[in-house]
Amino acid sequence: MANSKKLKKQSKPKQLPAHVEKKREQERAAAKKAKRSRIWKRIGIAAGAVLLVGGIAWGTIFAVQRSGILLHNRVAMSSEHFEVNNAMMDYYYVELEKSFFASGTDYLKRIGVDPNKSLKEQKYQGDTTWFDYLMQTVTSNNEQMLVLLEEATAQGMTLDDTEKADLEQKLSQINLKDYATGVRMEDVRKAVEYSLIATKYSNKILADTKTKESDWEAYYAEHADDYLQLDAMSYAFTISEEGMTAEEAMEQAKLLDQTTSKEAFETWVKQYLTGTGVAEDVAAQTVEKCKTTGALSSFGDEVTAWAKADTTKPGDTYIAQSDTACKVYLLLSKPARDEQLTVDIRHILLSTEKCGSAEAALERAKAVLEEWKNGAANEASFAELAKQYSADGSASSGGLYEMVYPGEMVEEFDQWCFDESRKDGDTDIVETQYGAHVMYFVKHSLPKWEADISGKLDNEGYKAAYDELVKAHPVTKNDENIAKVANER
């Protein structure tokens, strides 16, 4: 028998009246809309919570940055009793960077630095940026500072009232906006105070290890050739496979060897060069370079012995032969010590960069000079103004440069220092590529040769004393925290 359930025909659902069907459809639509509304409401609440939490997180991070907590908690380097945190590192970096940029646009361009771009984007050497280089300098300086600070503290050295006044004066000029977010005045105060005490103790070491004239004379007696200056004309005939043979070079050298004066030497070299096809202007430049001045020892034993011999006199010539050249020398004067006096000067730099223009720097310099004239108008008052106003690195020492020798400074500065009429106490304003300098002439100092020897011996004495302090006061660096200074700027 067939399955009656399978064979039975399905009945149709009962048809509802039209108005009832419409009402039910409306109810279903309303229910769906209400459900959708509840879903979106829940999503909105969740999203709002996420945004709120995110806002709190970012707000907290920003607040932490502004508070300087990260800067203060990150110790860059430390010694037994002192720490330098990242806030202080940032201060030291910014001050060094200011000094670096104050060196002037022309100088920066010569070393390949664009003052309008971040130093983090400019290469110093290899993969090292200029920012890295300055930060390495800051790190090295602070290592020395901590060593000196430890010893100064051990010796009971503190700032006197005048030095404390200098500290307050320095702090009064601080604009915290120059530094990373979170650097506080207490950080700057500590950084400046550490630096002042360390510098004070450094000056004490210099005074304690300073050598005297008898030391210089004794050293000179053993190293005379390093401090005797040789003035000569010289020109080399190069030997090479592509050019002259040794015989040809010697043949030309013997011809030049016949000259007996500077003028004759220059004339011969110029005619020789132009005769070989060298352009007139290039030949003239080469002739200018024939004038040679330097420490006698730098010319080698053979030339040194010839120049010092009693029988050798100005106008004599000598041929020094090697595997690569035949070089002719014409003696202009007998080797002698450089007796030209060095000078001690003070200056106050009003930099073009800081003042905005060369004209503004000049006007500011005039105002500073006038302020000095209206005050005590002596060296001590000039030094105080230098500490207050100068953009130069010498500001902390009252703008002092000692034993300056001819040619050491930029041309305009150098000309003022070594003017024959210059006398103690002279003041003036000198303009250079760096800005306007208010000048103060302190005195004529040691002859150049004595200045060179005293400087060398004094440096050696200081280094020996400092090296002993390094052993007594080790400094620990945290390279990871130091690296973070770049990210906190």
Q: Give the model confidence (pLDDT) of 381-407 as tens digits.
A: 999 999 999 988 888 889 999 999 999
Comparing 418 with 243, the larger pLDDT belongs to 418
Is the same domain home to 268 and 302? yes
Is the same domain home to 277 and 322? yes
- CA atoms of 76 and 425, how far apart (whole Å): 45
Phi/psi for 242 (5° steps) reads -85, -20
- CA atoms of 170 and 173, how far apart (whole Å): 6
Q: How large is the C-alpha radius of gyration of the chain?
A: 38
Rounded mean pLDDT of the chain? Answer: 88
Is the same domain home to 363 and 325? no
Whether the CB-CB separation of 271 and 337 falls below 8 Å is answered with no
Q: Which helix (H) or strand (E) holds 349?
A: strand 341-351
As a whole number, mean pLDDT of residues 111-134 equals 93
- CA atoms of 228 and 452, how far apart (whole Å): 12
Q: Is the pLDDT of residue 279 over 70?
A: yes
- Indicate the SS3 state at residue 221: helix
298, 315, 337 - which closes a domain: 337
313, 337, 361 - which closes a domain: 337
Is the same domain home to 354 and 443? yes
Token pair of 251 as six digits: 């043949």
Q: What percent of the chain has pLDDT over 70?
A: 86
Domain encompassing residue 439: 341-447
As a whole number, mean pLDDT of residues 235-245 equals 93
Assigned domain for 22 exists: no
Query: What pLDDT, on a 0 to 100 scale, did the predictor assign at position 10?
Result: 40
What is the rounded (10 degree) CA torsion for 440, 446, 448, 449? -160
Is the same domain home to 383 and 419? yes
CA nearest 145: which of 84, 218, 222?
Answer: 84
Q: Give the model confidence (pLDDT) of 128-138 as tens digits.
A: 999 999 999 99
Q: Give the model confidence (pLDDT) of 160-197 as tens digits.
A: 998 999 899 889 989 999 999 889 999 999 999 999 99
Q: Is the pLDDT of residue 46 over 50?
A: no
List alpha helices for 68-121, DSSP H: 69-73, 86-101, 105-110
Q: Is the pLDDT of residue 309 over 60?
A: yes
Is the same domain home to 332 and 345? no
Other beta carbons less than 10 A from residue 164's beta carbon: 13
Assigned domain for 29 exists: no
- Indicate the SS3 state at residue 351: strand
What is the rounded (10 degree) CA torsion for 119, 120, 122, 128? 120
Distances in whole angstroms, Cα of residue 154 to Cα of each of 141, 199, 201, 438:
20, 15, 11, 39
Q: Is the pLDDT of residue 12 over 60?
A: no
Assigned domain for 323 exists: yes
Amino acid found at 487: N
Distances in whole angstroms, Cα of residue 28 to Cα of each of 21, 36, 42, 225, 308:
11, 12, 22, 111, 119
- Lowest-confidence region among 26-35, 151-160, 290-299, 350-359: 26-35
Query: What pLDDT, on a 0 to 100 scale, did the predictor assign at position 18?
Result: 52
Query: What pLDDT, on a 0 to 100 scale, did the predictor assign at position 242?
Result: 86
What residues does 346 pair with on adjacent strands?
400, 440
Query: What pLDDT, on a 0 to 100 scale, did the predictor assign at position 47?
Result: 43
Is the same domain home to 388 and 432? yes
Please tell me whether the overall predicted TM-score, pTM, comes out greater than 0.85 for this model: no
- Indicate the SS3 state at residue 53: helix
Query: What pLDDT, on a 0 to 100 scale, did the predictor assign at position 409?
Result: 93
Assigned domain for 303 exists: yes
Q: Please give the tally of structural domains in the chain.
A: 2
Assigned domain for 274 exists: yes
HSE-CB for 211 with a 13 A CA cutoff: 20
- How distant is the alpha carbon of residue 195 from its chain centre? 17
Q: What percent of the chain has pLDDT over 90?
A: 75
Assigned domain for 428 exists: yes
Query: What pLDDT, on a 0 to 100 scale, did the predictor assign at position 3?
Result: 39
Is the same domain home to 333 and 418? no
Is the same domain home to 299 and 354? no
Is the same domain home to 389 and 438? yes
Q: Is the pLDDT of residue 353 over 90?
A: no
- CA atoms of 426 and 424, how far apart (whole Å): 6
As a whole number, mean pLDDT of residues 101-123 equals 87
Token pair of 138 as six digits: 């800051």
487 pLDDT band, cuts 50/70/90, is confident
Query: What pLDDT, on a 0 to 100 scale, did the predictor assign at position 173?
Result: 87
CA nearest 366: which of 389, 384, 344, 383?
Answer: 389
Query: What pLDDT, on a 0 to 100 scale, did the predictor assign at position 30?
Result: 57
337, 354, 380 - which closes a domain: 337
Q: Give the model confidence (pLDDT) of 312-341 as tens digits.
A: 999 999 999 999 999 999 999 999 999 999
- CA atoms of 271 and 238, how far apart (whole Å): 17
Token pair of 137 as six digits: 């300098």
As a whole number, mean pLDDT of residues 127-150 equals 96
Is the same domain home to 388 and 434? yes
Assigned domain for 350 exists: yes
CATH number for the domain harbouring residue 370: 3.10.50.40
What residues does 476 pair with on adjacent strands?
78
As a whole number, mean pLDDT of residues 135-147 equals 97
As a whole number, mean pLDDT of residues 227-254 equals 95
Assigned domain for 211 exists: no
For helices 130-154 and 448-472, angle between their N-to-C axes, nearest 10 degrees:
70
For helices 161-172 and 185-209, angle between their N-to-C axes, nearest 10 degrees:
140
102 pLDDT band, cuts 50/70/90, is confident
Is the same domain home to 317 and 390? no
